[in-house]
Amino acid sequence: MVRQITKEVQVEGQGLKMLKLILGFSGLVILLIVGLVYTSISNSKAPNVSAQGTASLEVVPDEVSVSFNIETRNISQKIAQEQAIEIGDRVKNSLKGNGISGEDVKFLSFSVYPEYNWDKGKNELIGYVARQEILVNSKSFDEVFDIVNSGVSSGASVSYINFELSSKLQNEYKVKALELASEDAKLKAQAIASGQGKELGKLISLSNQDFNYNPIRYYDYGVATSEAKASGSAEIEVPELNDLNDINPKEINIQASVSVQYTLR
């Protein structure tokens, strides 16, 4: 009987210890939550300042891309398709003959569709059109002449010529532009705070609003076609091959913006 009572007392003692530990831990958690909530409320009630910083860089492109369009027409769908494939092979072989690596040549799309002529309220099938797009990239501007000549002499037409940034340079300039934009945002926030006789406190938020860069379009067949139609001219201006011997690409503009928010003290 005595042993049983002793065991019950021991069990009750252990239960009390566990209860105290649970209550103590719960109390600590509650205190932490209250502290965080208080801090959050304090920060939200404290005066703060927001600013947006911008940065703009002018950089020289290190890549050029030439897009070719192949278009064939025939009353036979099969023949139209075969003709487009044949021209594509000629372009590829010609590029290879001029020292352009096969890794730099990409066949982007291939499509075949019927062509109709609307006459007297009826659609008349007049044949099929096969189209293929080829994109050639190069890190040497001196190769533009050979690239364009290879495509045009093989039966393709130039869709556009772009001067661009490689992925490596994009990443490098992105970091630099965002750093400058962040510095500009902080400088503006400091100026605003100083104008009110305040100083910057803690950084509340920091966000990247935008990073943008657009390749330089040296030539665009679509634009040239639209301009020719608008002027009433039947001729479409295309870049002369001789003009491609000495290309000096313009600088590309890179822009970035960053938003910041600080407490004031």
Kindly list the domain boundaries of the chain, sorted by start residue: 46-62+165-265, 63-164
Question: In this structure, what token pair is assigned to residue 101?
Answer: 């690596």
Report the share of the chain in percent with pLDDT over 90.
58
Cβ(202)–Cβ(262) under 8 Å? yes
Residue ranges with strand state E in the chain: 48-59, 63-74, 105-119, 122-138, 157-164, 200-213, 216-220, 252-264
Do the first three CATH levels of 46-62+165-265 and 63-164 match, i.e. the same topology?
Answer: no
- pLDDT tens digits for range 212-232: 888 888 887 665 555 555 655
User: Which of the residue ranges 38-47, 140-149, 157-166, 209-218 would you say has the lowest mean pLDDT?
Assistant: 38-47
User: Which of the residue ranges 21-35, 62-76, 137-151, 189-203 would you say has the lowest mean pLDDT?
Assistant: 21-35
Q: Select the CATH number that applies to the domain covering 63-164 from these four: 3.90.1580.10, 3.90.1300.10, 3.30.70.2970, 1.10.1060.10.
A: 3.30.70.2970
Residue 72, pLDDT above cutoff 70 = yes
Give the pLDDT band (50/70/90) at residue 5: very low
Between 70 and 26, the more confident residue is: 70
Distance, CA of 243 to CA of 145 (rounded, Å): 8
Q: Select the CATH number that applies to the domain covering 46-62+165-265 from these four: 2.40.10.10, 3.30.110.170, 1.10.10.10, 3.40.50.1110.
A: 3.30.110.170
The closest of 261, 262, 176, 164 to 211, measured between CA atoms, is 176
Distance, CA of 206 to CA of 189 (rounded, Å): 12
pLDDT value for 224: 56
Cβ(57)–Cβ(177) under 8 Å? yes
